[in-house]
Amino acid sequence: MKLENSVINEIRNNLDIVEVISNYLPLTARGKNYFGVCPFHDDHSPSMSVSKEKQIYTCFSCGATGNVIKFIQDYENIGFIEAVKKCADIAGIRLDIETKKNTKYDKYTELYEIYDISYKFYQNNMNSSAAVEAKKYLYSRKLTDQEIKVFGIGLSLSNGSLLTKLLKSKNISDKLLLQSGLVGESENGDDLYDLYRNRIMFPIHDANGRLVGYNGRAYHGETSNKYVNTKETAIFKKRDILYNYHRAKEAARQKKEIIIMEGPMDVIRAYTIGIQNVVASLGTAFGSCQAMLIRKLSNNVILCFDGDDAGLKATKAAIEELKKIGIEPKIVRLSNNQDPDEYIKNNGKEAFETALKNAMNIMEFKEYILKHEIDISSAEGIATYTNSMINEIKEIQDEVLREISIVKLSEETKLSTDFIRKKIGNVESSVVLEPPKEKKKLSKCEKSERNLVYYMLKYPDVIKSYEKKITYMPTEKYRHLAFQITSFYKKYGYINTADILTELRDDEVSIKTIGELESLNLRDKYDVSEIDDYLENIRVYNEQQQINLYKNELTKEVDLLKKIELANKVIANKLRSEENDRGN
């Protein structure tokens, strides 16, 4: 079945791009448009504009442009038809068409199948008589059968080859088994065995909900290697994974907030008290890829790692990664070195919600750290604390927050605000500003082409004037887009940028040019005289270029008759140009 553009545009017209994109990332109304942090480049401030009126988005920084279908296609890294099908589902429109699977998934189909088999295997174990001790442990951790089921918690057995034998019975090659991260090989290479043995298995999914690994938990009182994550494989990259991300997405978008913890039990415990906008870093170093995943959900982030020294170190690292992408997280430090799981069990839902509500900002957190590291009962300690805080205040760009911090430090140390400001110095003078990049200066003709095509995207009358008075645009990208616009208008009898983007879905050059035009700060309405000026400027430029071409050929020509012919062409073009000028 061929999917006609009319069907695609009908689906698109049943969706509001602002509502759809708001389900993927936070948008803020500003004037008649909405703005958000662009997910298609390393954006530190909201540079993506979403137009409710035009039903398109444009990033003023990287130039990413498209309609709602293009956004879903690029955001979820899926094919065009699959994105259309997803839009149809959102719009409640039945669309009977097969979609191609993600090629990434196709490439690793056998690995995903191995994990599907392992999941069923571990689930069967958890529901067998062999799971008595494991379930007893989970019950002691205050988990119910319902929570065990919801989070797919399974069990690997002490027999070290049961899963391997099951997988081999499915005719899966030894090479692939070893690549899966679930099977190991003996030193002599003669035997394969299960890497996970006698552990409670917490399934780990990628951002799209595909099972890609496990977090295996020892439950016999072991003090070392309590948790073991699957080793990195083709489908499991620790830097790209956050536990429970696929479940937390919807709750995070609804609450406009995401909470980051360390381990699966922390997340599951939060779920038991109704807090679902929560993910875990699985005890690994929080990196840039995980930070980007977080930004797709919300700019409001709370870090709630374990209360011990390791949790403190992880918190500091996460703060730095999030700051790099423009997120200023809040921080919760739980009392008595407790992790969230312990804290909720010991103190209850209300106490934990209060801790979240009273989360520290970064400045308060740094103050908290310094007070724990420095003895401020002595003059030397106060001096060290003051100098450290001054260095931190220097980094604050928000003038209001900087002033609040200065006053607070003054009250704490009994030093005058004038003294502190003097020590801080001129913050702005220490900032080295990069010189702004010079924009290419457009000629009168290029500016006329650009502006003319901008209005051709909006008004049929401008398209008609272009076709009547101009046969050629000198700049290739504008010439090409003008052709596409006129072709669309002739074919459908109307003009709409969002629908044109559907038509041009494989034409990256034209899509990029539309993005550039949408980034212009031009008026929506136009004057007829203004359009006439653009057309005239292009006409004059074309005629002058033709005259210059003949003159150039004339200088190179040696044949007398041909020189006379070229000279006559130059004269004729000049006369025609002068006649046009008089007519205008």
In CATH, what number is assigned to the domain containing residue 171?
Answer: 3.90.980.10
Q: Which of 375, 408, 430 is the last residue of a domain?
A: 430
- pLDDT surpassing 80 at residue 102: no
Strands 330-331 and 301-303 turn out to be parallel
Note whether 417 and 510 are same-domain residues: no
Note whether 454 and 494 are same-domain residues: yes
- Residue 327: inside a domain: yes
Q: Which of 359, 383, 404 is the last residue of a domain?
A: 359
Q: Are 184 and 92 in contact (CB under 8 A)?
A: no
- Residue 68: inside a domain: yes
- Residue 438: inside a domain: no
Residue 240 DSSP code: G
* CATH code of the domain in which 61 resides: 3.90.580.10
Note whether 123 and 69 are same-domain residues: no
- pLDDT surpassing 60 at residue 430: no
Residue 302 DSSP code: E
Note whether 170 and 90 are same-domain residues: no
Residue bearing the bigger pLDDT, 39 or 351? 351
In angstroms, the CA 550 to CA 577 distance is 15
Indicate the pTM of the whole model.
0.68
Binned at pLDDT 50, 70 and 90, residue 546 comes out as: confident
What percent of the chain stands above pLDDT 70?
Answer: 90
- Residue 182: inside a domain: yes
- The pLDDT of residue 329 is 94
Note whether 248 and 151 are same-domain residues: no
Note whether 330 and 269 are same-domain residues: yes
Q: Which domain holds residue 288?
A: 240-359
In sequence order, which residues have a C-beta less than 8 Å from that of residue 14 and are 6 or more positions away? 91, 92, 93
Q: Are 510 and 50 in contact (CB under 8 A)?
A: no
Residue bearing the bigger pLDDT, 220 or 429? 220
- Residue 80: inside a domain: yes
pLDDT (tens digit per residue) in 40-73: 887 777 889 999 999 999 998 888 999 999 999 9
In angstroms, the CA 548 to CA 574 distance is 11
Binned at pLDDT 50, 70 and 90, residue 101 comes out as: low
Question: Which residue type does 231 have?
Answer: K
Report the number of distinct structural domains present in the chain: 5
Residue bearing the bigger pLDDT, 276 or 556? 276
- Residue 436: inside a domain: no
State the average pLDDT for the chain: 87
Note whether 475 and 571 are same-domain residues: yes
- The pLDDT of residue 437 is 52
In angstroms, the CA 17 to CA 6 distance is 18
Note whether 96 and 131 are same-domain residues: no
In angstroms, the CA 531 to CA 529 distance is 5
Q: Which of 386, 407, 430 is the last residue of a domain?
A: 430
Task: Give the 3-state secondary structure of residue 35.
Answer: strand
In angstroms, the CA 276 to CA 258 distance is 9
Q: At 287, which helix (H) or strand (E)? A: none
- Residue 255: inside a domain: yes
* CATH code of the domain in which 277 resides: 3.40.1360.10
Highest mean pLDDT, choosing among 98-102, 306-310, 354-358: 354-358
C-alpha count within 13 angstroms, C-beta hemisphere, residue 15: 31
Note whether 387 and 513 are same-domain residues: no
- The pLDDT of residue 105 is 52
- pLDDT surpassing 70 at residue 249: yes
Q: Which residue has the tokens 């300690």?
A: 381
Note whether 453 and 579 are same-domain residues: yes
Instruction: Please state, as a whole number, how many other Cβ atoms lie within 10 Å of the Cβ of residue 383.
Output: 14
Note whether 391 and 268 are same-domain residues: no
Note whether 573 and 545 are same-domain residues: yes
- pLDDT surpassing 60 at residue 434: no
- Residue 439: inside a domain: no
